[in-house]
Structure formats: structure tokens, C-alpha cells
Amino acid sequence: MESWQCLLLLCTLSSALPSGEVTKNDDDIDLASLLRNIYPGPLVRDEPFIINQDFEINSFKEQGRLQDPKITPQTKDNSDNQDINGVPGPVVLTKDGQIKGITVDKAHVFYGIPYADPPVGAYRWKPPRPVSPWAGVYDASFPRAACVQVCTGPITEECPHTVSEDCLYLNIFVPLDVNFSSPLWSPLPVMVWIHGGDFIAGSASKPLYDGRFISNFTHTVIVNLEYRLGAFGFLVSGKDPHTSAAGNYGILDQQAALLWVQRNIAVFGGDPSKVTIFGESAGAQSASLHLMIQSSKPLFKQAVLQSLPFSIPLKTRHDALKLGKDFAKQTNCSVSDFVCLLSLTPQAVLAAQMKTSSKIVNPFRFLEVFETWGPYIDGELLKEQAVTAFQKGHWQKEKAVLLGTTSEEGVLFVYGVFNKPVSAVECTVYITAIFKQHALRILHKYLPLYRDADRRDMLAQIVTDYVFLCPSRRSARAGTVAGSNVWMYVFDHIASDHRVWSGLSFCYQHACHGAELPFLFDSASVANFTLSPPEKLLSNRMLCYWGAFAHTGDPSSRVHQTTFCREQRLPVWPRYSDTSGWLVMNLTVRSHAQVGTRNHICDFWDQLGY
């Protein structure tokens, strides 16, 4: 279609769409399909992924069948026997009791350590409580169940095998040369991983996130934490925390885990004064919130934000409460009947969550549909949007930040929804519905750059630019101007082994959302994929950059560098600043610092606003 015809259509749509109406295309794909999938849905191997075009705008048809997950009660496996299961392993004494881990290739591992008491029964929608001490030796030789979640779509085999409401556990990976019987002269920096998953899925124990390799090669202590998800972690049913669900429990869980680290990590060889939090997608969003939460300030020193969807707004209290009312309706409980809500089985909560998940809360703020369940602005813990906080300097500016995106974040979401070509007409419909009065300028900017009749590449690029790349750049520049130390990267490598995508074939030739994770964790040997020799070098360099950042606050620092990292001959990664020309590290098989390749586009989005 000619550009002038698109613009004519745009004028017609501009007056119609703000009222909330949605036009479907010939393949029965509507705006909701695009909206529901732009947010950090599928992390590699992590999240429920929906490839189904049978959507409705105000009440999505239920996606997939609700599987009957193995929801299991858990027990603290205590034993007075030091050699649990007859296998010797490292034993440490925490403030809550003795813990016995296992020694594997590359690291000592302590799986499934409780950092809070189980949030079950009357404590389902309550802030996490300190863990109760135990007698004997706690068996930390195996991972515990993930937090309750549901799996839909084609990658269900990648989901956690068991889930439970009793899920507030963490895993710790310690370098082999740490001697637990004598304190270290120099304790090691700690890196705490917060997994992604749209706040409804994911697990700390995924093979992809196995921390033994980073720990071993960079001489750091790695901690992976679980936190409550979906309605369990984020339901808001009222204002009074004593008589209703007040939300943001998943963020409070993360805070409790960070506090546990402060109190206990020293016995694992870690330095509580050198804690780096790092996360991807919803995990990066969580990390950004801790940079804004005053009570989180003493719990960590710096942060890494990977593929943070800055443009996805947190809900207001009003919208979070509306979602809570819709949830209650699905359960046949009154939203004000907290006793009824607490009496629901985990399966019933999950079923109601699924039925509520796809409703648009505020028709004039379409983007919120991406993150139906998640943190909201409660006025106390969270006071404003992350992108606003970074612009205004309302965050812990003294902390170093490393942040970046993949080069093609949007491909996963757009191609996951549209499995048939999208015409220029359809493309115009979606852009107008999302961006309303700005649609004309956006189309004018992007339409001339794409000649293919199929406009999915264009939509994917808009998602990459608007949701991820450009607001990240803007926040990084604001941080630099405020005096913070900031480093930026773009991950721009296409994995040679397609197995990292678990069958999502549209990512086989792209650096999709989550593409950096197999390289950062170097987890090929335990996560069913392989790296070529050049890719192994990229992986080694990435984990060494992250490790150097954990040790010194500078990914390019050679101080405290391990022999392994010295051998990788890391290219210099300059700090992100105007004096260095705003250089960004391009992480690819030939990694190098470069000027941002999309600065002209990001200037455009900065003017338009996020």
C-alpha cells in the first residue's frame, strides 16, 4: 500500500480508536494479540509462550489448557547425619541452622535454602516472615519447587516440574577454592540473580541460570532467588494489609532474600558489602525498582539491568484493585471476603489468575496489558514509574549501573503473535491504536525504511526501540548527567545452536529478547545446547565483564581479575558518558565499543516521550 493511503487510513482511525474500538484484520488478528505479547513474555526457555491468534480485546479467550501442575507441600529436609544420602558435602552454619550442600564440577552448591517462612495458609497474602530456625542439618543438595505458575503453549517441557506456594528459597554457588572451615582473608563479591518471566513464570533453578560457571570463572558467590508470582505475589484486593491482599509481595520477597544475604552470606565466603543485583526482563524491572525503594538501599551496592522494558507502566492502585475485583469474581468470593480468598486452593487461585490475566484494565493505557500481574504504585514502597524516577534522579544515584538490551528485542513478541504477514494497512491500525496522536509521526519515521509488503519487521523494530532500547538510553544518559557511573551494551549475536530457542523458529536468525542469557551464564553443558569456539569466547568475555563489575564496579577493570579472565583479553568497555562519545559495548563474537547505531531514532523517541 502506498504511504499516502496509509496516512489517509490513519486519519480515519485516529478519530475512531481512542474510544476503545479495535479493528481486526483478515486473519482475525486484533490489537490485543500485539499488546499481550510485546511485554517480557517469553524469556528463553522460561515463560509461558502463546502462539494463538484467537483473541478478544476486552476478555481474551483463555490461552491453552490449564495444566494440573504438581503443586506440592514442601518440608525442610533436616537430618542430624552430616553425610546426608551418604554423600559428603560442604557444611555451613547460618543464623538459622546448619546447611549441607554438594560439591559439583566447578563449584560448591547449596540448593533450596529457605530465606523466609512458607507463605501458606493465613500467610498467603502477607509480607514474607523471617525463616524459623531448625535443628540438625538442612539438606541443600537438591532444588526445591518453583513458585506456583502455569504453562501454556509449545514449550511446556521447559517449565518447572513441580510448583508450590511454599517456594521462598534460594540457591548459592561458591567457587571450589573457598574453605568453609576457615574465614577468607578477602571475602568474595556476591551477585544476586532475579529471574524474568513477566511476573507470572520462571524459576531460580532453571538449568539456563546455573550459576556455577560465573562463580568459578570470576571468583564470585552467585545467589539465585525465587519470589511469589502472579496473583500469589501481586494480588490487590483492598487497602488494609490486615484484612486484604495489598500487593507487591513478590518485590517484598526479593527484599527479604537480599536481607537474608546480608545476614548470612559471609559464612559462604561472600562479602555483604559488595552485593550486585542483576536480572533480565521482569527481573531487570525488579532490580530497577530496588534502585528506587528506600528500604532496599542498604541491601546491595550496584545493579545490572538486562532488557528492561522501561516503557511498560506500573499499574496505579485503582487499576490494581480493579484487577483484584475481576480476580475475585472468577473465584466466587467477594473481593472484601479475605477469609474466602485465603481458603481457595492454589489450583483455584491459579485458575482465576489465568481467567483474569488477559483483561485490559484501563482501555486508555493499552500497554498495561503486557504485564497483567506485577508490581503497582502503592504510594509507599513504589511511588512512581521507573523511567520517571531515572529522569528526575529519584533513585540511588551513587550506585553503579550496567544496562543494555539485545539488538532485536521485539522480534520474539511480534512474530509470536503474527504468524502470517502483516500488511501496511494492518500495521497502521496497530500503531494508531497504541500511539494514538503520535501515530502519524511514527509512521512517517518508520514506513520509508521498510519496503517489504510484510511489515512485521517494522513492528518488531518499533517494539525494540520504544519499549527497550531508547528508554534505556535515555535513563542511562540521565544517570550519567546526575553523576552516576553507567555502562551500556547491546547484545548483537545470533546463536548458532537453535536449541536455545526451544522451537521458537522465528528467533533462529535474530538476537531476540533473552538471547544473551545462554552466553552470560555459560550454561551450555547443563542446559542442552552448544557454543561454537567463537561463541565460547563471547560467553567467557561476557561473564568476565559481569564479574569485573561485581568485583570493582567497572566491567573493564583488571583489578581482582582471575587468570581465566586475563586470558580472555577483554576489549576495553568505556564508561557511558558524553566525554567518551556515548560509546556502547557491542557484545558479539568480535566485541567492540561503538557509537549507538540507533541514536537518531532514539532522539526521535526522546522528543515524543515514553
Q: Among all chains, which residue has been given the C-alpha cell 501454556?
A: 152
**Separation between Cα atoms, residue 218 and residue 566, nearest integer Å:** 10
- Give the CA distances from residue 496 to residues 70, 500, 501, 509, 514, in Å, rounded to whole numbers and listed in that order: 35, 9, 11, 9, 15
DSSP 7: H
Catalytic residue among 33, 141, 281, 523: 281
Cell triple for 535: 561463541
**Nearest Cα to 377, choosing from 326, 318, 333?**
318
Torsion 497-499-501-503 (CA) sign: positive
10 Å CB burial of residue 294 (0-12, 13-18, 19+) is exposed
Instruction: Render 21-69 in DSSP notation, one character per residue.
Output: -----TTS--HHHHHHHHSS---TTTS---------SSSPPPPS-----
Backbone angles phi, psi at 214, to 5 degrees: -60, -45
**Separation between Cα atoms, residue 35 and residue 31, nearest integer Å:** 6
Query: Would you call 409 a catalytic residue per the annotation?
Result: yes
Bin 399: left if φ > 0, else alpha if -120 < ψ < 50, else beta: beta
- Are 281 and 198 a contacting pair, CB within 8 Å? yes
CA distance from start to end of the chain:
29
Catalytic residue among 409, 426, 516, 535: 409
Query: Would you call 513 a catalytic residue per the annotation?
Result: yes
**Separation between Cα atoms, residue 459 and residue 574, nearest integer Å:** 32
User: Cα torsion at 598, 197, 235, 357 (round to 10°)?
Assistant: 80
Catalytic residue among 195, 290, 493, 513: 513
Q: Give the other-Cβ count within 10 Å of 485's Cβ.
A: 18
Backbone angles phi, psi at 490, to 5 degrees: -130, 130
Sequence letter at residue 113: I
Residues with active-site annotation: 281, 409, 513
